[in-house]
Structure 1
Amino acid sequence: MERENWTSKFGFILAASGSAIGLGNIWRFPYITGTNGGAAFLLIYITAIILIGYPVLISEMAIGRKTARNPIGAFKKLAPDTPWWLVGALGVLSGFVILSYYSVVAGWGMSYAVKSIGGFADGTDFAALFGSHISSTFSPIFWHAAFMFLTVAVIGAGIVNGIQKVVKVLMPMLFLITFLLIFRSLTLEGALKGLIFYLKPDLSAVNLQTFVDAISQAFFTLSLGMGAIITYGSYLSENDNINESAGYVMFFDTAVAFLAGFAIFPAVFALGFDPAAGPGLTFITLPAVFAKMPLGALFSFLFFILLTIAALTSSISMLEVVVAFLVDEYGWNRKKASYFMGFLIFFVGLPPLLGYSSFSNFRFLGMDVLDTYDWFSNVIFLPTGGLLTAIFVGYYWGSTNAVEEANKNSSFKIGKSYRFLIKYIVPAAIIIIITLSLINSI
């Protein structure tokens, strides 16, 4: 079966950036920044993106293009008759599990976009409203199904007519809506307090958990360790520039996360809310902010549409990982694989969805079902996948081979710095983060 390729460098950059830009930027980044003291976390996060995220991003793109295979097939091709294929299997599993609960949260975003059309009344108990929504049954299932249907429809259409065509529309929309929200937020009276919180480092807020959160966020937001970048890289041609493309992806991803802070924190401070509200910042605090804001219904609608677009550009990359596995390894028809895996992922997403109603008594280390899925993904699966990928590139396949592949047709060459980072800094940092995360959780 002939494999598709991206029809342009720009198409790949938008698709890979879309994979990276998701709920991690719009939903997760603001509340993690808020709970870690603002600007101090931002500096650590950017450092983690450059020193850890960029080398792993290049490595996964190089593995993908070299093999032109899904994650499992890629490791089988580079390390035949060895257990290294299990690293690819972990990537496929990661994408599968993350998408199952990612779709649930994205469904919340879709439902809130619809709720926003009528506007939220000032004085509404938004904690009760959110609790009522997630603890019901029919509505969350409907929106979970609707979001998975959109994801399946894009992937079923293929690389060029599906993913590439859709991201060329969605990514410009994402940036446009972000800038509209920033303009509204910065023009509110009292917005300066939010800017100071966001941009002036408070080193007293920094602790070990800050570093754990920063590196975990770097992996989550760049789609590392879940096979998405290897899969997208497998559709690159020999003429594509890996090093520059990785740089653009890193830049766009970080820019959207950074800009999301400008859209959120000035408004939160201007209207007297808590920036350290945790996960509830998006679905409890921000609706309350919009309710107090002139034209709040419009900007609430735009924000939750932004959240949905960001989620969709990431979800299609996660579904592509598992679909590519069935297409490459078993010769499945793309549409058949898309619908089959979409239904299976929808089904696996039901426990976290019902974790606030039917499964509300479930607890793992004190966490509900959705947080348990998220914990395994961000503390175990993604860092372990990134660690093993770094070890594979640095010591088995060889950093020299990775450099040779990445430097093809590249005006920006990597070399000694990349080798040092992928062999020593990346593995050491990830081991420390996994260890600290496990200690903090138990």
Structure 2
Amino acid sequence: FLVPWVIFLILWSIPLLMVEFSLGKETRKGPVGAFAAFLGKNYTWMGAFVAICTMAIMFYYSVVTGWALKYFVAGVSGDLLGGVDHDAYWRQFTTANTSPIYYHLISLLVASGIIYQGVVNGIERANRILLPALLALLLVGTVRSLTLPNAAEGLNYLFGFHGASLTDPAMWLEALSQSAWSTGAGWGLVLTYSVYMRQKDDITLNAFITGFGNNSASLIAALAIIPAIFSLTGSSQEAIQALQAGNQGLSFIVIPQLFNKLPGAQILIAIFFLALFFAALSSLIAMLELATRMLMDFGLSRKRALPLVALLGAVMGIPSAYSMDFFNNQDWVWGMGLILSGSFFTFAVIKKGVAQFREKYLLVAHNDIRVGVWYNWVMKFLIPVEAACLMFWWFYRTWDAAGWWHLTSIYSLGTCLWQWGGLILV
């Protein structure tokens, strides 16, 4: 898995990150204004789709941030220790319960307070604290994980090379999905932050640092979790089943269960969920800044735009905080929407001319990394094919011949088309 994951970092994520850095630095506007300035007003709707798609993710991502905060508090207080039924605890917390709403609102309030202080005093200062703290927490978890008995089995699972698996198309598509979604390429977040870049800041170097930095952090997180799971489960088969529990099941059910088997469980659980909260909060800040920047491009000041965005996020996040079905539907619809967002960035470069784009933005004197002709081929041919394959693959995996068009279905082509269509019409 790691081989195609790194390949797609080069052949999807980093090329799109270069586009985002370039558009933000050139236009000094958020996604809506950037597409209008770069392609003309007839293509403003593409930037609006990118921005609102990411805003829709923000509405439920603040819920995820709230979950992490709740579990950190529960870890510190000892509520997750002893003979707790962690599956029942999770279901009780997330099923028709108002508690997730409160934590969603608290998380949004924390992120809004940081952004209210501005770019330098708020966002940059917060990132100088959050990111090193997150890395430190991950490293502590990694050291503890690697010193457990049988941790080598987890390392073998993570890094073991099985050449035959490279012939499996599904693995390549899952690796592409992971790279596309974890780096944030095509979300408009990097574009928003690059509005504040200095004129001589290096676009290509920043794109590579962002991409490889994300992958490095992901590997450290894997080292903190996977060896521990293999050590604390009864067999390799049980460990693999635990890893297949899905993001929510793994983070909020399996890991607290397993950490309870270790000395110092309360500290380990608190460290894990504090790291998860920091990671989620840093992403939530970026999404909130994107939405705020969009209103600022229409002439509002930060101090007027932010309360409107925060209020909208607070209200629109409540359904996802209250209903897991609604949460899963929004995660599906707008996660798939990000593939369209990436396609719109690709279209923008193709329409302008890939060779001209590379010459104007990537081959400038102050860029240390020289981007070759390979970039032209990746943007013009490979990324469109990758996007089409991703769309087809995920819709194929969830295909329901009887109800594919249902708006109320959690996972269907129809629910995506209805909601995307509504967004585009608006």
* Mapping for residues 207-218 of structure 1, pairs under 5 Å: 207-218=168-179
Mapped pair 1:295 → 2:264 = yes
SS at match of 2:263: coil
Change (3 A) 1:378 1:203: farther
Of the candidates 162, 172, 182, which is equivalent to residue 221 of structure 1?
182
Distance 2:159 2:82 in 1: 29
Measure how far apart 1:136 and its partner are: 4.7
Change (3 A) 1:203 1:374: farther
For the 8 Å contact 1:107–1:144, the answer to whether it is kept is yes
Of the candidates 87, 93, 97, which is equivalent to residue 127 of structure 1?
87
Of the candidates 352, 355, 359, which is equivalent to residue 323 of structure 2?
355
SS at match of 2:323: helix
Letter in 1 for 2:395: L
* Mapping for residues 98-247 of structure 1, pairs under 5 Å: 98-119=57-78, 120-202=80-162, 207-247=168-208
Change (3 A) 1:210 1:290: same
Letter in 1 for 2:8: A
Change (3 A) 1:85 1:73: same
For the 8 Å contact 1:403–1:414, the answer to whether it is kept is no
Identity over aligned pairs, percent: 28
Letter in 2 for 1:269: F
Measure how far apart 1:203 and its partner are: 5.6
407-416 or 93-102: which moved more?
A: 407-416
Mapped pair 1:404 → 2:404 = no
1:396-421 Cα shifts (integer Å, max 9, x gaps): 35442244213331121113111111
Distance 1:320 1:209 in 2: 35
Measure how far apart 1:81 and its partner are: 3.5
Q: What is the match of residue 372 of structure 1?
A: 329
For the 8 Å contact 2:76–2:270, the answer to whether it is kept is yes
For the 8 Å contact 1:140–1:353, the answer to whether it is kept is yes
Change (3 A) 1:281 1:238: same
Aligned length in residues: 388
Distance 2:76 2:359 in 1: 51
For the 8 Å contact 2:354–2:380, the answer to whether it is kept is no
Measure how far apart 1:202 and its partner are: 4.4
For the 8 Å contact 1:116–1:300, the answer to whether it is kept is yes
Mapped pair 1:416 → 2:356 = no
Letter in 2 for 1:298: I
1:135-175 Cα shifts (integer Å, max 9, x gaps): 15231111101100011111111111111111011111111
For the 8 Å contact 1:122–1:288, the answer to whether it is kept is no
Measure how far apart 1:224 and its partner are: 2.1
SS at match of 1:293: coil
Distance 2:307 2:181 in 1: 25
Measure how far apart 1:191 and its partner are: 1.2
SS at match of 1:411: coil
1:195-226 Cα shifts (integer Å, max 9, x gaps): 11111134666744433332222222122222
For the 8 Å contact 1:241–1:407, the answer to whether it is kept is no
Q: What is the match of residue 404 of structure 2?
A: none
The two structures have a TM-score, normalised by structure 1, of: 0.84
Distance 1:403 1:232 in 2: 23
Q: What is the match of residue 87 of structure 1?
A: 46
Distance 1:399 1:61 in 2: 17
For the 8 Å contact 2:138–2:220, the answer to whether it is kept is yes
The two structures have a TM-score, normalised by structure 2, of: 0.88
Consecutive aligned runs of 4 or more in structure 1 exceeding 6 Å deviation: none
Distance 1:355 1:204 in 2: 41
Q: Which runs of 5+ in 2 are unaligned?
A: 234-238, 400-426
Q: What is the match of residue 68 of structure 1?
A: 28
Q: What is the match of residue 426 of structure 1?
A: 383
Of the candidates 238, 252, 257, which is equivalent to residue 213 of structure 2?
252
1:235-279 Cα shifts (integer Å, max 9, x gaps): 112110010111111111101111111000111111104222222
For the 8 Å contact 2:116–2:302, the answer to whether it is kept is yes
* Mapping for residues 429-440 of structure 1, pairs under 5 Å: 429-440=386-397
* Mapping for residues 337-356 of structure 1, pairs under 5 Å: 337-356=305-324
For the 8 Å contact 1:107–1:146, the answer to whether it is kept is yes
Q: Which runs of 5+ in 1 are unaligned?
A: 1-40, 357-367
SS at match of 1:225: coil
For the 8 Å contact 2:354–2:376, the answer to whether it is kept is no
SS at match of 2:200: coil
Q: What is the match of residue 413 of structure 2?
A: none
Q: What is the match of residue 275 of structure 1?
A: 243
For the 8 Å contact 2:58–2:313, the answer to whether it is kept is yes
Change (3 A) 1:293 1:419: same
Measure how far apart 1:431 and its partner are: 1.0
